[in-house]
Chains A and B, each alone.
Chain A
Amino acid sequence: NAGVTQTPKFQVLKTGQSMTLQCAQDMNHNSMYWYRQDPGMGLRLIYYSASEGTTDKGEVPNGYNVSRLNKREFSLRLESAAPSQTSVYFCASHPPPEQYFGPGTRLTVT
């Protein structure tokens, strides 16, 4: 039982490049979330999926897209990366109201 897994752990992109961050959970949770964490800003919600087949915007969705591929997997895509998207990205899943977080992806956009 791995909990919430994320890949990759680290990534460096050039401005304008695209990439997809992968997240998977093996706890059979319905809800999944993507957050970004920046110094002094805490955790800010980008997108979430309350159940398979649904996605909703969070606090900071601009520049991102998501796909809830199935109950286990929820991916976050940056179509054209910008330096402002340099951050640590966390995926989480939950049986409401508790949440369980993945180990994070540290992304740098140059």
Chain B
Amino acid sequence: GQQLNQSPQSMFIQEGEDVSMNCTSSSIFNTWLWYKQDPGEGPVLLIALYKAGELTSNGRLTAQFGITRKDSFLNISASIPSDVGIYFCAGQGPSGNTPLVFGKGTRLSVIA
């Protein structure tokens, strides 16, 4: 089946630094989604990408849908303590009505 490789697995950064994480797939996706999970909560959708090459921002977050349709990245600029959490990528293949495939997550820690 489809698999997503998400990296890095974890990051420790200083407050104010920029963060970058990415996901790569063994097959083509039509949609890429990025979620954030706060401790003790369910994942919350941050950004959705629907077209190859698309670059979308949500505040300090920017995500891109790779041209090959097999990768996506998420950048966070000027990190703050509330950015702490687990970030998941997810993709949906060309079949449309199939379940999302999730990466294993990037755990972000911000040191004040």
Contact = CB atoms under 8 A, between A and B. Distances in A.
Contacts of B43: 43, 90, 101
A58 B97 CA distance: 14
B105 A48 contact: no
Given A96-B92, A98-B33, A50 B97 contact: yes
Interface residues of B, number: 23
B96 interface: yes
Contact of B96 (A40, A42, A96): A96
Contact of B102 (A31, A43, A98, A103): A43
Chain B interface helix/strand/loop/mixed: loop
Contacts of B59: none
Contacts, number: 48
A43 B40 CA distance: 14
A46 B104 CA distance: 16
B22 to A, nearest CB: 15
Interface string B76-112: 0000000000001010100011011011110000000
B41 A103 contact: yes
B100 A97 contact: yes
Contact of A58 (B48, B92, B99): B99
19 contacts: A31-B97, A33-B99, A40-B104, A42-B103, A43-B43, A43-B88, A45-B99, A59-B1, A96-B97, A97-B33, A97-B92, A97-B100, A99-B33, A99-B45, A100-B45, A102-B42, A103-B41, A104-B40, A104-B41
Interface of A: 4, 31, 33, 40-43, 45, 48, 50, 58-59, 90, 92, 96-104
